[in-house]
Amino acid sequence: MGCFVARSHDAIGILARHRTLLVVVCLTSLVTLWLCRLPKIKIYSPPFEIDVTGAPAAAEKHLDLSRADAPFISWPLARVCNEARWSPGIVFVCDNNSGGVGNIRNYILTCLRYAIEAGATGLVMPQIRTRAPDNLSSIMQAHQPFAYFFDEDHFRQSLGAACPQISIYQSTDHIPNAVNPFKVERITPRDFGPRGGCDNRGLNQHSDGFGRKFRAHVEEHAAEFNIPTPSPAHPRAYRLTWGVQFDWQTYRDGPEFATSYGGLLRFRADILKLGMQTAAYMREFAARQAGHTESQTFVGMHLRTESDALSNWPRFENQTRAYLERASSMDFKAAYLATGNSTEAAKLASAASSQHGLAVVTKDELLKDHPRELKALKALTWDQQALIDFVVLLEGDYFLGVNPSSFSMNVALKRHLKMDGLHTRPWKTGGDGDGRSWLVGSYEHYWKDWLFMYDSMWP
Ligand SMILES: *[C@@H]1O[C@H](CO)[C@@H](O)[C@H](O)[C@H]1NC(C)=O
Ligand SMILES: *[C@@H]1O[C@H](CO)[C@@H](O)[C@H](O)[C@H]1NC(C)=O
Ligand SMILES: *[C@@H]1O[C@H](CO)[C@@H](O)[C@H](O)[C@H]1NC(C)=O
Ligand SMILES: *[C@@H]1O[C@H](CO)[C@@H](O)[C@H](O)[C@H]1NC(C)=O
């Protein structure tokens, strides 16, 4: 209740400040007019030269960052690292994650973003926590190496080139001069600095203050426990608490960073290849549906009704009805269906074909006549197989998913990058999509409907 009262006071305050605002607007306009007289203004010194009077460089604007194999654009990350304040001897460990690829990706990226702000000069190669094969809700199983999902060489090279200040250690055993037995302190970044707001799922509104507050904490801790302040000779390791994956406001670092940073986590080469091959088979399938015409267009759908889906999410009926209506209104004849549940897949496919003349296939069906690739698919775990879906859904001509699945959101946000490349602005929630994707679901409450995830997910 207190919050609502405070908010309405805020509203009254805003009205009272109306006059001040007018003055500010006038002054700003004058300054803008004055600035416009100048022929050309460059901000930042090289190599980050940006022409603020011109349009975004054409090459960057048309860079298609929506593909799973998009190049990694390193200068926005290099800029953040150049501006960071480094604290030699601080090492971050980014393994207290869980869930599907949407959650794992964002946990690792969030953890690394905090590590940079903390000035960590060491990062232990992130690991990935797995889920039980016979119980999809059981997501706190043993760790697998980074390469369970991602391309390790790509990560090392990309991070190394952008942030040479950070050394990557293969495991906690490889941190030079670490105390024996190894010790790691657990931290929750948003605890550093006072927070306002009513909902404890709130994003960190104070990430600018994190580095300063964190370093003060490290010093105090050293004094309190009479241990040396961190240095290469006395490194100290930090691990984030579980669940810190939707925490950092991504656009805080500017659109160039928000749209490129996620490129650090490229899928493992063999998974990427199998995904691209599956997408190629999907195009062939679509061409056959269209009667061997030129058209190979297809719509991708993510049906999220597996046994671990939460009870208040849109159900099978809601998702299916919405997807099929939209796909047929757009005249699609072929659909790729991503789901981890073959029973439900068959149900959707049968409704699609009988009611809408829409042919629906899954990855298993597409690879059925390709034994080598089918075998490679079967060798993957449930969560790894979802990466194949991820790649194909990025390749499709339209995407239908469900809010608030982090997998659906991640696909939609990455597809959104095709719009303006590095200059893509945030996805607008709750509307009709961006012309490339649409997510069914409820968009009434910022917290309850998990809309905060759109503000804290790197595509
Ligand atoms: C599956 O895992 C969840 C989370 O660990 C647990 O609560 C549930 O009891 C498990 N279900 C079965 C059938 O073991
Ligand atoms: C991960 O975080 C949770 C709290 O969110 C904590 O209980 C757990 O011990 C952490 N795991 C490790 C290995 O530190
Ligand atoms: C698949 O869906 C059926 C309901 O159609 C359900 O009974 C089953 O538990 C689901 N399996 C998985 C793996 O989610
Ligand atoms: C599912 O569809 C029903 C009927 O249209 C609707 O009342 C309900 O709110 C929907 N549920 C969700 C979670 O979208």
Q: Note the pLDDT tens digit of each residue in 128-165.
A: 999 999 999 999 999 999 999 999 999 999 999 999 99
**For residue 304, is pLDDT > 90?**
yes
Closest of 376, 359, 380, 358 to residue 367, by C-alpha = 376
Q: Which atom of ligand 4 is nearest to the CA of 442?
A: 14
Distance in angstroms (rounded) separating the CA atoms of residues 458 and 52 = 25
Beta-bridged to residue 169, according to DSSP, are 124
Per-position DSSP letters for 198-245, written without gaps between them: S-TT--BTTGGGHHHHHHHHHHHHHHHHT-PPPBTTB-EEEEEPTTTT
Q: Which atom of ligand 3 is nearest to the CA of 306?
A: 14
Question: Is 137 near ligand 1, meaning CB less than 6 Å away?
Answer: yes
Q: How far apart are the first and last CA of the chain?
A: 35
CA 439 / ligand 4 centre spacing (Å): 14
Per-position DSSP letters for 328-373, written without gaps between them: HHTT--EEEEE-S-HHHHHHHHHHHHHHH--EEE-HHHHHTT-HHH
Nearest CA to ligand 1 atom 12: 135
For residue range 44-102, what is the model confidence (pLDDT) as tens digits?
A: 333 444 444 445 555 555 689 999 999 999 999 999 999 999 999 999 999 999 999 99
Q: Check if the beta carbon of residue 119 is closer than 8 Å to that of residue 85.
A: yes
Q: Check if the beta carbon of residue 91 is closer than 8 Å to that of residue 120.
A: yes
Nearest CA to ligand 4 atom 5: 318
- Please state the rounded mean pLDDT for residues 234-250: 95
Task: Quote the mean pLDDT of the chain.
Answer: 88
CA 121 / ligand 3 centre spacing (Å): 46
Pocket mutation for ligand 2, best pick of 92, 93, 96 (most atoms within 8 Å of C-beta): 96
Pocket mutation for ligand 3, best pick of 343, 362, 381 (most atoms within 8 Å of C-beta): 343
CA 317 / ligand 4 centre spacing (Å): 9
Q: Give pLDDT, residue 197.
A: 62
Q: Please name which ligand lies nearest the alpha carbon of 186.
A: 2
Q: Which residues lie with the beta carbon below 6 Å from any ligand 3 atom?
A: 306-307, 341, 343-344
Name the one residue in this structure whose structure tokens are 């056959």.
288
Q: Which atom of ligand 1 is nearest to the CA of 140?
A: 5
For residue range 371-383, what is the model confidence (pLDDT) as tens digits?
A: 999 999 999 999 9
- Of the two residues 369 and 206, the one the predictor is more confident about is 369
pTM of the model: 0.88
Q: Please name which ligand lies nearest the alpha carbon of 308.
A: 3
CA 137 / ligand 1 centre spacing (Å): 6
Contacts 24+ apart (CB under 8 A), 12-17: none
Please report, for the chain, the start and end positions of each structural domain, with discontinuous segments joined by +: 66-264, 269-402
The sheet with strand 120-124 has its strands ordered as 167-169, 120-124, 87-93, 236-240, 184-187
For residue range 7-40, what is the model confidence (pLDDT) as tens digits?
A: 333 333 333 444 444 444 444 444 444 443 433 3
**H/E segment holding residue 399:** strand 398-402
Distance in angstroms (rounded) separating the CA atoms of residues 63 and 55 = 15
Helical H segments across 69-191, by residue range: 75-83, 101-118, 152-162
Q: Check if the beta carbon of residue 424 is closer than 8 Å to that of residue 259.
A: yes
Structure tokens at 122: 């060491």
Q: Check if the beta carbon of residue 411 is closer than 8 Å to that of residue 437.
A: yes
Nearest CA to ligand 4 atom 3: 318
Count Cβ neighbours within 10 Å for each residue of 410-436 and write b for 16 or more, e otherwise: bbbbbbbbbbbbbbbeebebeeebbeb
Domain range 269-402, CATH class: alpha beta
Q: Please name which ligand lies nearest the alpha carbon of 241.
A: 2
CA 134 / ligand 1 centre spacing (Å): 10
CA 391 / ligand 1 centre spacing (Å): 30
Q: Give pLDDT, residue 194.
A: 67
